[in-house]
Amino acid sequence: METVLFYIAASVSLVSTLLVVTRTNASHALIYLIVSLLAIAVIFYLLGAPFAAALEIVIYAGAIMVLFLFVVMMLNLGKSAVDQERGWMQPRMWIGPGILTAVLFAEFIYILGGTPGTTSGTIVPPKAVGETLFGAYLLAVELASVLLLAALVGAYHLGRRYMRSRREEIA
């Protein structure tokens, strides 16, 4: 049963990801990306990682993609942008990504044929995730938070310079 569900979710995710790449309308592409993220959340859940599944939706689908859509709305892309995208989408653009994907695919086939899958089939409760994050991987978590802090300070700095020039304009 779980295997069937897994393959359904996996094919939804693959098809929607493919559509993300081929859509010329930016907002449609984004919606397919959201669908793909939701499908990946289902896969996480099926693999016994409910916490990762919930975070996938809350953070990726619920926050980051909203900001992507926000930017698309700000740009207010019209018909001209669709035509431009269509012009960029030449068949020869597929060569590079195609080769890279073929390499990955070959590797995947090799793994499937040889060694057994690494997922042990155990369910990982939220508490276990927290204990690992703030126990074994504490240093990595702290380093990532320092990185985010740098991004935050940078964004604040850029925003402040803009606000100052705006105030001078008004004054």
Partner 1 sequence: MELGFIMIAPVLLGAMLGALLLVWVERRLLGFWQDRLGPNRVGPFGIMQMVADLVKLLTKDDWIPPFSDRVLFTLAPAAIIASMLMGFVVVPFGPGWHIIDLNIGLLFFLAMTSLAVYGVLLAGLASNNKYSLLGGLRSAAQMVTYEVFMGLSLMGVVMLTGSFNLNTIVHAQEDGWFFIPQILGLVVFMIAGVAEAHRLPFDLPEAEHELAAGFHTEYSGMKFALIMAGEYLSMILTSAIMVTLFFGGWLGPDFLPPIVWFSIKTGLVICFFILLRASIPRPRYDQLMSLGWKILLPITLINLLITGAVALSLEG
Contact residues: partner 1, CB under 8 A? 27-28, 31, 34, 50-51, 53-55, 57-58, 61-63, 66-67, 69-70, 72-74, 76, 125-127
Minimum CB–partner distance for residue 42 and partner 1 (Å): 12
Torsion angle in degrees (nearest 10) through CA of 12, 18, 24, 25: 30
Q: How far apart are CA 71 and CA 69, in angstroms?
A: 5
Minimum CB–partner distance for residue 163 and partner 1 (Å): 12
| Cβ proximity to partner 1, 67 vs 95, nearer residue | 67
Minimum CB–partner distance for residue 7 and partner 1 (Å): 23
SS3 category, 119? coil
Give the C-alpha distances (Å, rounded to integers) separating 135 from 52, 54, 140, 141, 155. 18, 21, 10, 10, 31
| Cβ proximity to partner 1, 89 vs 128, nearer residue | 128
